[in-house]
Chains A and B, each alone.
Chain A
Amino acid sequence: MTKEQIDINPTCPLPFSDNERILLGHGSGGQLSHQLLTELIYPYFDNPMLATGHDSALLSIGEQRLAFTTDSFVVSPLFFPGGDIGKLAVYGTVNDLAMSGAKALYLSCSLILEEGFPMNTLSKVLASMSQAAKETGIQLVTGDTKVVEKGKGDGVYINTAGIGVVPHDVYIAPQHIQQGDVIILSGDIGRHGMAVMAMREGLEFDNPLNSDCAALSDPIHTLLNEGIAIHCLRDLTRGGLATALVELAETAEKTFIVEETAIPVSEAVTGACEMLGLDPCYVANEGRFIAFIPAAQAETALTLLRDHSVSATSCIIGRVDEDNKSQVIYKTTTGSERLMQRLPGEQLPRIC
């Protein structure tokens, strides 16, 4: 390649060989997803708003600050204990907006339907979406439908995008994480991933597994209304708590210290994870977030959060340390320490 060619396209993504393909692991939210974004997608669309690596983009239009986000939902099964794809599609986008401190206003919805999909089931999904939208005060104002041939979809895929307004004095982003902040987790982890896995694979456990699928906007707005200086928020989705912490530590260029004994995990999730050899820190959630808050306001924040049912068991799981090494130090139950890593691809059950 000549110098001239290089200059023409300075953000050219890494070349991929003919035999490289998209793998399921690219959708896991872990290391492979990260590579897909940084090596292939970001170079094509490089801009400062995308580069913040936040859950939603912050846009300034005139004097108004808007948060804008999108998410696609491809869950199987469509209905699972504690939720369904319709609820997820609304809550997921509302939650992404809430993580910027935004009040969610408007939602778009694209339905990709598979030929032969029962109208009755679609109706149930839409009813669930409608109820979730009412609950969270967001209006579905535009949308699209497409139908694909039988066998080329999985019943229904849903994409939603959302717009919300960010108050003038709110600046929530990974870059605002400060040394000395405490890390608050809004509840026990791993419910959604284990509930869906158990249902999809026909695994039965003595303790029922229910998804944590929920809207997170109310507790966040309470914190903001009560003057808590939230530095950063992140809802825990694919890749789980561990991936969210690692991503934020890297983006914020800070060191976090997290205590395993402080992380709540229900008996049901612990049991299922133990049996399958999975680490709950990497299991998906759909109704949990972490908040970075000045230590001086930690107790007030916890009291406020515990008033809401979705964050009733909020607790402090760690803090932001003095050095800036972009790492998460994990203090295990045994008293040893190690670094927390992103999940490489999908988390796979053990063999024996």
Chain B
Amino acid sequence: MKYMHEYRQAVTIRQLADKIAAVTRQHWTIMEVCGGQTHAIVKYGLQQFLPAQIELVHGPGCPVCVTSIDIIDKAIDIAARPNVIFCSFGDMLRVPGSEKDLQSVKALGGDIRIVYSPMDALTLAQHHPDKEVVFLAIGFETTAPANAMAAYQARKKGINNFSLLTSQFLVPPAIEAMCQSPQSRIQGFLAAGHVCAITGYESYPKLAEKYGVPIVVTGFEPLDILQGIFLCIQQLEQGRSEVENQYSRVVRQQGNLPAQQMINEVFECQSQSWRGIGHIEQSGLKLSEAFRPFDAEQKFGLRDKVSSANNKYDTAGCISGDIMQGLKKPCDCIHFGKQCRPESPIGAPMVSSEGACAAYYRYATFNESDTFNKNAAFNKSDTFNKSTTSEKTTTRRDQ
């Protein structure tokens, strides 16, 4: 397929891998911010092409993973009510709340529908004027324009039985928070290409300069990611900390101005709680005053509802916050591949197709191979590999 296969070819990838190896002199830790990039790295085994000195850590750019437990609990509360059609992207149905998840509410009769766009939810609201239709509007700057458009159109057309339960996040404040953390090991960032397609990257130079970190706007295909790594390593080795755009076939410096305008019209900034990480100042979006009637938290009287602190997720010992800040890897978690599996997740990163744990689990590599063991992304995975092998053996015998 055009514009896809060209970026996945073994020969070109090998050539770029050789270039990376040639410029790498010392150990560097790089974070890819977006979960889509994490997924591609693990799916295509990109760490296998990198020298042992390059360590990739996985960032917080997975919307399902960072949505707070409060929002999940509020979603469950609304979805269980009669006369409500609750719409969501598919992944959110399996994210554990304090007590249960949305798919168990669905199994008990809640009218929960998987949609592909907030506009589909708006159409449902038009077709069911006797029902309250609520869309779980999660995501980063990538989903914000479409979510904003849904609220904008609802207001314009007077579709008052429609509302959004919002959990919108902003990437640059999260990068800054990680740079400020004394524990941080991150020396360079691969910024999320699709987010930058909306926002542009004019806010990044001051971060790169202030914290002395190279930031490379990077795409999602294997070749994009390796090229992003190459540019980042080149800067690190040369002692530079600048912003570069690897994904220039999609991203412009100013971004998508009409999309930004739509976001600014409908949303305003607020402090946001990131699941497993905590509050980050001005790192989220909420509906602005004019669009408050379309705010599901307000409509259903849930604004001040807070989840019980003693919830299953927090007490289970999920380390997603550490993973998404690049402090740990999925295989450092004692639950990974044991109690926590995609079919019975303890934490959100095991659910989402953009979650680091789900990617590690789904695309597990095998042990007993030097190529893999020297590989930083998997160098602590022996325990996991052994445990899954033994569990699989047990399963097979059970048959």
Contacts and interface: CB of A to CB of B under 8 A. Distances in A.
Same complex for A and B? Answer yes
B139 A334 contact: no
Contacts, number: 129
A352 B117 CA distance: 10
Contacts of A42: 398-399
Interface in B1-21: 1, 4-5, 8-10, 13-14
B108 A336 contact: no
Most buried by A among B143, B343, B398: B343
Interface stretch (A77-85, A125-133, A266-274): A266-274
A336 B45 contact: yes
Interface residues of A, number: 46
Contacts of A24: 103, 106
Interface string A247-266: 00011010000000000000
Given A38-B399, A274-B1, A338-B363, A351 B89 contact: yes
A337 B43 CA distance: 9
A346 interface: yes
B342 A348 contact: no
A21 B48 CA distance: 41
Most buried by B among A51, A53, A341, A348: A348
B116 interface: yes
Contacts of B13: 334-335
Contacts of A348: 89-91, 114, 353
Interface in B323-379: 341-343, 352-354, 361-366
A334 B343 contact: no
Contact of B116 (A250, A337, A344, A349): A349
A276 B117 CA distance: 12
Nearest to B396: A250
Nearest to A246: B392
B238 interface: no
B128 to A, nearest CB: 15
B160 to A, nearest CB: 25
Contact of A19 (B44, B104, B139): B104
A339 B366 contact: yes
A270 B5 CA distance: 11
B194 interface: yes
A352 B194 contact: yes
A326 interface: yes
B51 interface: no
A337 B45 contact: yes
Contacts of B139: 351-352
B138 interface: yes
A336 B226 CA distance: 14
B367 to A, nearest CB: 10
A288 B115 CA distance: 29
18 contacts: A25-B103, A31-B341, A31-B342, A51-B399, A250-B399, A253-B396, A274-B4, A325-B389, A333-B9, A334-B8, A338-B364, A338-B366, A339-B365, A344-B343, A346-B90, A348-B114, A349-B89, A350-B353
Given A38-B398, A267-B1, A337-B366, 9 more contacts: A19-B104, A21-B107, A332-B43, A332-B44, A334-B13, A338-B45, A348-B114, A351-B352, A352-B36
Interface of B: 1, 4-5, 8-10, 13-14, 36, 43-46, 48-49, 63-64, 89-91, 94, 100, 103-104, 106-108, 114, 116, 138-140, 142-143, 194, 222, 341-343, 352-354, 361-366, 389, 392-393, 395-396, 398-399
